[in-house]
A = this chain, B = another copy of it.
Amino acid sequence: MQNFVFHNPTKILFGKGTIPAIGPETVAFGTRVLLVYGSGSIKRNGVYQQVTDSLLKAGAEIVEHPGVQSNPVLSHVQEGITLAKKQKCQVICAVGGGSVIDEAKAICAGAVVNYDVWKFFTGKKSVTCPLPLTTVLTLAASGSEMNSGMVITNEETRQKFGFANKKLYPKTSILDPEATYTVPADYTVYGAVDAIAHVLEFYFTTQDPATPVQDRLMEGLIINAMESCDRVLADLYDYQGRADLMWTATLALNGLTAAGLGKVGFPMHLIEHSLSALYNVPHGAGLSAVISGWMRLQCQATPQRFAQFAERIFDLRSGSTEERAQKGIDALKQWFEKVRSPTSLAALKIPAQDIPKIAENAVTLASVWRMPDYDCERIQTILAGC
């Protein structure tokens, strides 16, 4: 176990009927509220109405910033920042999935400075005193509702970059599983894949194998992400399945899994970010296309770790270490196939001849994320196995 700091100050309100609390939770930080949301699905499922009713009842003046797209883009973040400044917003309320919350965090950071917000993403500036943020979550996936990170795509440079800052934890996040009922099967799966990927990244990139407490925690989350996803696919209105998946995805990237692991990386996200920056594929779909290829390469370095994964996640106990390791990778891939998440570049309709271009894009981010091991050659090798 390596030294760590764990400090997650986000307040979570979880469960049925919790959305009407968003008004008081938000105006506690100011009455001029920038309401950030996406393409309007929250208007169709009633969440928008619940949120605005609660905000207005609590005395908020609402400034709307709709239209956040999945894989949120820098130009729209900049529009939000301009609006927040012009309207003198004191607090931001994000209603949506990870894309909406990520964009809202970027606006929180950018609305109080006089330089381009992209400087935070390239590491040229550091966040000091951002606007406070509250959220209402409508998609179980990214964990952004209880962490301090975000990912934004710069359309001009075609870079999908991310950063985290401890001042950007949401103050309060409301997680009502019923708000996810209308998420269709495919995006429910992509959300589960994203949560699983968050755990796998840390599980397999830790340099410290002596983290048994964290291992059990991570293994439990992976099992739960798969099992709860299966239950939701059988019935999209299964409250308990939606609730389990939602809380699992939150715990999968709120800092807890990483505690004590030392330096960890996001190699699968690194490569996927290039796929969605270049082809705008859903994040979870891009991840499942990359995961098996990455695992097969990584497995050569740490087969014992992969054997533990196989044994504890899939109860695969027979065979040599290498055999069990391979069986575990196959079992995960089979689960992806069962829930119809892409498991290859071909399934995403990305031609093999694009691999050098993708690798070139990913290497730029690898440099920002300080992952020198991920050079063009290595990334191409992984992609060739996808």
Residues of chain A touching chain B, judged by Cβ–Cβ distance below 8 Å, are: 1-18, 177, 210-213, 216-217, 219-221, 223-224, 227-228, 240, 243-244, 247-248, 251, 256, 259-260
Contact = CB atoms under 8 A, between A and B. Distances in A.
Given A7-B11, A217-B217, A227 B244 contact: no
A173 to B, nearest CB: 10
Contacts of A17: 3
Given A8-B8, A220-B220, A243-B260, A248 B213 contact: yes
A6 B15 contact: no
A12 B1 contact: no
A227 B212 CA distance: 9
Given A5-B13, A8-B8, A11-B5, A224 B213 contact: yes
A64 to B, nearest CB: 28
Given A213-B221, A259-B247, A3 B12 contact: no
A3, A4, A15, A227 pick with most chain B CB within 10 angstroms:
A3
A9 B4 CA distance: 16
Contacts of A177: 1
A158 to B, nearest CB: 37
- Copies of this chain held together in the complex: 2
Closest 10 CB pairs of A and B: A3-B15, A216-B220, A7-B11, A1-B243, A6-B12, A210-B240, A213-B224, A9-B9, A4-B14, A213-B248
Contacts of A243: 1, 260
A323 B358 CA distance: 57
Contacts of A256: 256
Contacts of A11: 5-7
Given A1-B14, A7-B11, 4 more contacts: A4-B15, A14-B260, A15-B260, A212-B228
A224 B56 CA distance: 48
Contacts of A240: 1, 210
Contact of A251 (B1, B8, B213, B220): B213
Given A8-B8, A213-B247, A259 B1 contact: no
